[in-house]
Structures are given as C-alpha cells and as structure tokens.
Structure 1
Amino acid sequence: MRQISKEAVSANGSIPLRDYHYHAEVLLKDYLLADPFIPYTSILGSILACKVVYDLTKFISNVHCKAYSSLTKVQRTEWNNRGLSTVHAIFITYMSLYFVFWSDLFSDGHDSMLITFRSSPFSTLTLGVSVGYFLVDLAMICWLYPSLGGMEYILHHSLSATAVAYSMLTKEGQLYTFMVLISEMTTPEINMRWYLDVAGLKKSVVYLINGIVIFFAWLGARILLFGYMFHHVYLHYHQVVKMHIFGYVLVFGVPTVLGIMNLMWFGKILKGLKKTLMKQM
C-alpha cells in the first residue's frame, strides 16, 4: 500500500481527503473485492443489506400504510419479511436475466473455456448476495416456524442456498444457477397477493389481475424456463459431465426437485385462479 508522503500532509497535520479516498479504493480493490474474498464479503454485505431493507420496510409501512398498524405481531413480521424477499427477487431476477440472455459470459463460442466452468468476479458477487438472502430468510423461517412457511419452504430454501453457495464457491455451473434463479420473478406477485389479502382487498379487481399475472409469470419462469434449462443441459451434456460429481448431482437434482414443487404449486395457483374467476362471473 502506498505510503503517505510528508508533502501529502497539510499544514495542520491532517491527511487530505484525496488520500483517504485512495486508501479506500485500495482496500476495496485489493481486499474486499479481491477474487478470493468476494464470496465472503458479498454474503456479509448481503446479510447487512437484508437488515437494512427489513427495517426500511417496517418504517415505511408503519408511516404510510394504514393496514400495517392493525396487523398482529406475526403478520407484521411476515409483512416486513415479504418486503425483503421482494427486493431480493427484483435484484436477482434482473441480474440472472442479464447473465443468461444479455451477457456474453456464457454464450457459445465466446470463450474456449467450458460453459460449466465460466464465471466472473461480478457473477460470483451476485450469487453471494443471493446466498446471504437465503441464509437470512431460512433463519427467519426456522426461528418463527411455522408462521412464515412450512417444511416445503425450508426444503426450497435449503436446496437453493446449497446450490447457489456451491456454484459461488467452486464457480461451477453458474449459468444453470442463474437460470433457476430467474424463477424468483414470481416472488413479487406472490407477495403482492398476500399484501392485498391482509389489507382486505381480496375481492378487488387488483387482486384478480394479480392472480392472472401470477399464473403467466409462474408458467413462464417456473415451468417453461425449467424445460429450457433441461434442454440446454442436454445440448451441453458433454460439458456438464466434466463437473465435480457433487456439482453434477446439483445440476440435475436441485432443478428436478424444485421443478416438481413448482408443478404442485402451479396446480394450486390454477385451482385458485379458476375459483376467483368463477366468483367474478
């Protein structure tokens, strides 16, 4: 690290602001965002960000939402938790779409390295943010069990955290991890459905429209996209098979289990949408 010269010290003995800025950049580049430390700093930063978002959701809702104050303590906790999950879902959906469809990182012919072993500091950092969120949310679900969700949520978050953490740490299969994370696209709509329900707007037009959006978003992000992912794995199987055995199992196992759960939930969504449409007719 560069030593501060005598000339850099002002007449009153203080260090100019530009030198603090320089040392902050060095600390960020050489330590916090250095490749070996990215997984850990991103997870820690994500956990701290989760706390900030949770508190902001609580503060904003308490000030601007009349329904919030009438909720029970458990409902307010779930309200704040869903605000947190919505922010994470928006972030990870955008980033996953970027890496899968817009970035050249995983495009065929872009790099001589196998697709299953490609990564970048930015992609690893993004996965670390998601790992931090899943750990926080899983901890809250277990701590308040079963208020925030049953065993299916614990299974879903455990599988997701394991798969994302493995991909982040080993840098294997990041493309398929981002494909699965695109399914978080449905989370904001699911949360909105819950918000409308506790706010007493279950019979509103907004509730019906939200249900229709959930149906199509779920069909696209959690059914069709999973089919696309398995097709991509089939076309690139000669590269997938070269992964570590644990990563190989995760590529097939986690999406399969999540896909089955998605189909089960999709059946419930379809049943609920039909019921809602019948009431509107």
Structure 2
Amino acid sequence: MEIEHPRVVERTRVAMDPFSQLILAISVTSFLTFQWLFHKVSPWVSVRVSPGFLNLSDKQKVEWNSRTVSTFHALLVGIFCLHILLFDDAVNEDPVWGDPTLVKTNVAITTGYLISDLLLIFYYWKAIGDKFFVIHHLAALYAYYYVLGEGMLPYFANFRLLAEFSTPCVNQRWFFEVLGYPKSSRPNMANGVAMAVVFFLVRIAVMPVYYSSMYSVYGTEAYYLVPWGGRVAWICSSICLDVMNVMWMHKIARGCYRVLHPPRRAKAAAPQENGKAE
C-alpha cells in the first residue's frame, strides 16, 4: 500500500483553494505598494537625496525610479529570505514539502513586484523595455506558481531569492554612471568591488550548498511527489540561471579588475596631463 507524504496529505485537503486569500491579499498589496513607490515615493525622495535627478531626461527618470523600487524590493525580500534560511526549521528540515507559510509570504511579495515591474516595462517600453527581463519575470512567475499554489519546494524557492542581495550594487553602478561619476572615482570603485564580492557570495559561492541540497532529495519519495512541471521549473531553471550567473560573474570580475588595475599607459599619461593642466 502506497503511503503519501504527510505534507502532501495536508495540502490535498485545501486543493480546491490553491491560492489562499491571505497570499492573494499580500500579492495585491505588494503590487499596489510598488506602483506607489515608483510613481510617488521615488521621485519625491530622489529630488531631495540627489539634486542631479532633476537634470535627467524623462527616460532616465523612468529607469531611475524603476531601479529605486528594484533596490527596495531586493533588500526587503533578501532580508526576509535570510531570516527564513537561518530560523525556519520546518523548511530547512524538509526542503521539498516543509511548511511554506513564511516562504509563501516572501514569494507573494516578489510576485506582486514582478507583475508591477512587468506592467511598467510594457508601459514604458521605450525607456526600460527589455525582452530578457520579460522572459525572466514570466519564468519566475511560472516557478512561483508551484510555491504559492501547491506549497512545494519552499526551501529552494527561498534560497534563490538570496540572489537579490546583489541587485542594490548593480543599480548603484547605474546611478553613478547616469550622474556622471567617473569609473575611477572612489565611490564607483568601492561599489564595483562590493558588487563583485556580493555577487560572488550570493550567486556563485552558494551553488555547492544549493545543488547538494537538490541532490540529497533527488530520487526520494518527496521528490517523486513533485509533478513534472514543478521539476522542470525547479531543475531546468536553476541550471539555466546558474549558467548565466557564471557568465555574469566572469564579466563583473573582468570589469572590476580593469578598474582596479588600469593599463600602464593610462598611468604613465597621468603626470603629463597634470603637468599641462598646471
């Protein structure tokens, strides 16, 4: 006689209502909040924090507000994600079917953000339109369906959100660039080093932990209870994402090296230029 996993039995009882009213409310609230942050809060704060915001073109202001909201979202869900990884025993002990309550909350916040960002991308396509981001957002929403709707794979879904910690540095690099900071300036160099370090820690260094956890549940009863679509969203997306992460890490490392170790010709030319200026 086949014995079902206890978590699956528990979820079967609520199969008629895959998206709870609470999760739906969080997603909608998240969507409205990020729209409000984009249209109202970011412009108001940006003018007071950085006067250079007023000198930007309309397209640059749209991207500025988009990146400001992106940074806020990344910090919010990243901190929540770290809390779950450190203190949510149910998810850590059963990565496939552990109690997903907190993870669902975090993913619901991200779902609201992704839908909000998709709407902004389509509406302001000429300013921030990007096919890659559309594909990324849609793929993420597809994967999150299995977390929000079926309550499966909470550990792995949450673990992936660790990558959001690299977003603020990436956005800050764009802010410095659009404000006219030279690449050799100390703030830009400090941010570049921080971006390389954080990107490596949250996207590359964690790979052994992530895939060892995946390997530990592969072939188990809990694994086979995950539907085919869920396995595709889990395994294939993870591999594709990490291939891109390795490629991005390579580019970031090369860029960081070039900034910290400029060509000798540039160093030799510096005294001459200074001498002419004097």
- Structure 1 letter corresponding to 2:62: T
Compared with structure 1, are the counterparts of its residues 147 and 274 closer, same or farther at alpha carbon in structure 2 (3 Å cutoff)? farther
TM-aligned CA deviation for residue 249 of structure 1 = 1.3
TM-aligned CA deviation for residue 95 of structure 1 = 1.1
Looking at structure 2, the residues matched to 232 and 44 of structure 1 have their Cα atoms a distance apart, in angstroms, of 32
Looking at structure 2, the residues matched to 51 and 148 of structure 1 have their Cα atoms a distance apart, in angstroms, of 15
Give the secondary structure class of the aligned counterpart of 2:156: helix
2:91 equivalent in structure 1: 106
- 1:127-142 paired onto structure 2 within 5 Å: 127-142=107-122
Give the secondary structure class of the aligned counterpart of 1:118: coil
Looking at structure 2, the residues matched to 84 and 40 of structure 1 have their Cα atoms a distance apart, in angstroms, of 21
TM-aligned CA deviation for residue 221 of structure 1 = 0.8
- Structure 2 letter corresponding to 1:200: G
2:14 equivalent in structure 1: none
Give RMSD over aligned pairs: 1.8
Gaps of 5+ in 2: 1-18, 268-278
1:254 to 220, 230, 237: 237
- Structure 1 letter corresponding to 2:234: V
2:187 equivalent in structure 1: 206
Looking at structure 2, the residues matched to 132 and 210 of structure 1 have their Cα atoms a distance apart, in angstroms, of 29
Looking at structure 2, the residues matched to 157 and 82 of structure 1 have their Cα atoms a distance apart, in angstroms, of 15
- Structure 2 letter corresponding to 1:83: T
- Structure 2 letter corresponding to 1:276: V
Give the secondary structure class of the aligned counterpart of 1:94: helix
2:43 equivalent in structure 1: 58
TM-aligned CA deviation for residue 159 of structure 1 = 1.7
Looking at structure 1, the residues matched to 129 and 241 of structure 2 have their Cα atoms a distance apart, in angstroms, of 16
Looking at structure 1, the residues matched to 129 and 207 of structure 2 have their Cα atoms a distance apart, in angstroms, of 24
Compared with structure 1, are the counterparts of its residues 181 and 208 closer, same or farther at alpha carbon in structure 2 (3 Å cutoff)? same
1:24 equivalent in structure 2: none
Looking at structure 1, the residues matched to 157 and 96 of structure 2 have their Cα atoms a distance apart, in angstroms, of 10
Q: Deviations over 1:32-91 (max 9, x none)?
A: xxx821221111000111022222111111233211000000100111111101111001
Give the secondary structure class of the aligned counterpart of 1:117: coil
1:176 equivalent in structure 2: 156
Note if contact 2:52-2:179 (Cα within 8 Å) is conserved in structure 1.
yes
- Structure 1 letter corresponding to 2:34: C
TM-aligned CA deviation for residue 219 of structure 1 = 0.9
Looking at structure 2, the residues matched to 262 and 152 of structure 1 have their Cα atoms a distance apart, in angstroms, of 14
- Percent pairwise identity: 21
TM-score (norm 2): 0.81
Give the secondary structure class of the aligned counterpart of 1:107: helix
Q: Deviations over 1:190-244 (max 9, x none)?
A: 1111111111113311111111111111111111223321111101221323211
1:83 equivalent in structure 2: 68
Looking at structure 2, the residues matched to 158 and 263 of structure 1 have their Cα atoms a distance apart, in angstroms, of 22
Q: Larger RCO: Structure 1 or Structure 2 (Cα < 8 Å, ≥ 6 residues apart)?
A: 2
Looking at structure 1, the residues matched to 133 and 207 of structure 2 have their Cα atoms a distance apart, in angstroms, of 19
Gaps of 5+ in 1: 1-34, 109-113
Aligned residues: 242
Looking at structure 2, the residues matched to 125 and 260 of structure 1 have their Cα atoms a distance apart, in angstroms, of 28
